[in-house]
Amino acid sequence: MTVTLSRLVNLVLKLGKIINRTKNIYLEVLKQKIKLYLLIKIIDLKFMEKKEDFKGFNKDEYVPILRDESISFLYDLAKKLQPKTILEIGTYIGYSASILLSSSPNCTLDTVEIKEENANLARENLKNFGERAKVFCQDAKDFIETKLKEKKKYDFIFLDGPKGQYIRYLPILKELLESGGVLVADNVYFHGMVKMEGKIPHKHRSIVNNLRQFINEISIDSNLQTTIYDIGDGISVSYKN
């Protein structure tokens, strides 16, 4: 009886040591994984160009470039998905376009911007990407209608143009999107107003209503799997079935 008890105690002690060792190994692996993740992040950020270095960065009082947390989100998403063909609506001076091009080295990107000054600056800023980047100076609606006629397909669409028009663009963008592709839209909360209860200031009312309609459409469409992230000014991500 005493022998059995002491064996049992030994066994429990041994088991304890094994559990302890396993826990330590597990913690070490976790630490290495975190280190590797941070290292990759640092390398990624190093390769990302700074928006302040972009030509035209200081030209406007309000710089309508993606917020930092949204840039990071967009980069990570595109890096994970590695799209081959990207469409961006709303180029400005080409910063988010450069993020997308850097995230997916094998992609080509079409980006459309209505203002000639911005389109020219974007062409300058995206020179390094050569033929991979095409900047079109046109109204986005005309551009996507042309692409629809050409039966062009994209596997990643980034919508960052006029916010009040998202809902008008949606039916065409769904057609342009490849099955399994993703539609990402920025500013869907429009400075928080889309989620706000009560009266919306008159000058923003139609944009807010249109964005609410856009969110509703992408959320109920059975052909899309949509998630809305509370990042930056609200980012929607919709995968097409």
Ligand X SMILES: C[S@@+](CC[C@H](N)C(=O)[O-])C[C@H]1O[C@@H](n2cnc3c(N)ncnc32)[C@H](O)[C@@H]1O
104: left (phi over 0), alpha (psi -120 to 50) or beta: beta
Amino acid of residue 179: S
User: Site for ligand X (CB under 6 A): which residue of 75, 95, 129, 156?
Assistant: 95
Q: Of 192 and 198, which has the nearer Cβ to ligand X?
A: 192
Q: Where are the alpha helices (DSSP H) in 48-139?
A: 68-81, 95-103, 116-125
Residue nearest to ligand X (CB): 90
For the chain, what's the residue count? 241
Q: Closest distance between ligand X and the C-beta of residue 47, in Å?
A: 17
Q: Does 155 bind ligand X (CB under 6 A)?
A: no
179-238: contacts with ligand X (CB under 6 A):
none
Q: Does 92 bind ligand X (CB under 6 A)?
A: yes
| Torsion angles phi and psi, residue 126, rounded to 5 | -105, 10
Q: Does 164 bind ligand X (CB under 6 A)?
A: no
User: Site for ligand X (CB under 6 A): which residue of 112, 184, 215, 237?
Assistant: 112
Rounded to an integer, what distance in angstroms lies between the CA atom of residue 97 and that of residue 146? 21
Q: Which two tokens stand for residue 120?
A: 């020219």
Residue 23 has a CB neighbour count (10 Å cut-off) of 10
User: Site for ligand X (CB under 6 A): which residue of 115, 127, 191, 205?
Assistant: 115
Q: Does 118 bind ligand X (CB under 6 A)?
A: yes
Question: Which residues, in sequence order, are CB contacts of 51 under 8 Å at separation 6+?
Answer: 57, 63, 65, 95
**Burial bucket for residue 92 (CB in 10 Å: 0-12, 13-18, 19+):** buried
User: Site for ligand X (CB under 6 A): which residue of 140, 185, 211, 224?
Assistant: 140
9-48: contacts with ligand X (CB under 6 A):
none
- In this chain, which stretch among 24-32, 101-109, 157-165, 190-198 interacts with ligand X, using CB under 6 A? 157-165
Q: Closest distance between ligand X and the C-beta of residue 148, in Å?
A: 15
Q: Closest distance between ligand X and the C-beta of residue 115, in Å?
A: 5
Q: Where are the beta strands (DSSP E) in 74-215?
A: 85-89, 108-113, 133-137, 154-159, 177-186
User: Site for ligand X (CB under 6 A): which residue of 56, 83, 161, 232?
Assistant: 161
Residues in contact with ligand X by CB under 6 A are 64-66, 90, 92, 95-96, 112-115, 118, 139-140, 160-162
